[in-house]
Amino acid sequence: MLVPLVWLDGGWNLLFTRRTEIVESHKGQVSFPGGACDDGETTPEETALREADEEIGLRPADVRLLGRLNDVVTITSYRVTPVVGVVRPWPYVFRVSGVEVGRVFTMPLSWLADRHNRWEFERPDTGVRLIAYHPFDGELLWGATARMVVNFLEVLGI
């Protein structure tokens, strides 16, 4: 899964997609570009770059990879390895896969880092930390993607 960073309006932003209502799983949810490894792929970076190209037309050559975050296991038992990269040039012309992606948008890192913009609580039955953000530009960021964002913010120390 690619965690794309873009410099926009004088600050760093994360780039997200909203999945369509016709995809097989996670319909209508906010996510980062990503998906399962294909045969022959040996690293999460290969998979993240291929999936970003397939889903939103982000060419691998236009991403400067920075590193990986810790794996996240979703409630649907997917193990996700987030790979962080900077998108250049910006602004970018995306070619969106209409089957998988309904929208491409950004959220400022400063807004995401503000604890007043999110709820965090623990599921009593499992002890799993749940995170949900207040809506931003009509989009609701929650679940595994929100956990990846908070993990990234913790790595950055913000």
Model pLDDT for residues 32-90, shown as the tens digit of each residue: 998 888 888 789 999 999 999 999 999 999 999 999 999 998 877 888 999 999 999 99
Give residues with Cβ within 8 angstroms of 112, minimum separation 6: 14, 118, 133, 141, 149, 153
- Does the structure show a pLDDT above 80 at 117? yes
CATH label of the domain that carries residue 59: 3.90.79.10
pLDDT band with cut points at 50, 70 and 90 for residue 132: very high
Residue carrying the six token digits 């530009």: 137
- pTM of the full predicted structure? 0.93
Residue bearing tokens 């996700």: 80
pLDDT for residue 82 = 97
Cβ-proximal residues to 98 (8 Å cutoff; 6+ apart), any chain: 20
What value does the mean pLDDT take over residues 142-151?
95
Q: What is the 3-state secondary structure (H, E, C) of the chain?
A: CEEEEEEECCEEEEEEEEECCCCCCCCCCEECCCCCCCCCCCCHHHHHHHHHHHHHCCCHHHEEEEEECCCEECCCCCEECCEEEEECCCCCCCCCCCCCEEEEEEEEHHHHHCHHHEEEEECCCCCCEEEEECCECCECCEHHHHHHHHHHHHHHCC
Average of per-residue pLDDT values in the chain: 93
Burial classification of residue 103, based on how many CB atoms lie within 10 Å of its CB (0-12 exposed, 13-18 middle, 19 or more buried) = middle
- Could you tell me the residue range of the domain that residue 123 belongs to? 2-156
Q: What is the CA radius of gyration of the chain?
A: 15
Structural domain total, the chain: 1
Place of tokens 């998988």: 100
Q: What is the mean pLDDT of residues 88-94?
A: 95
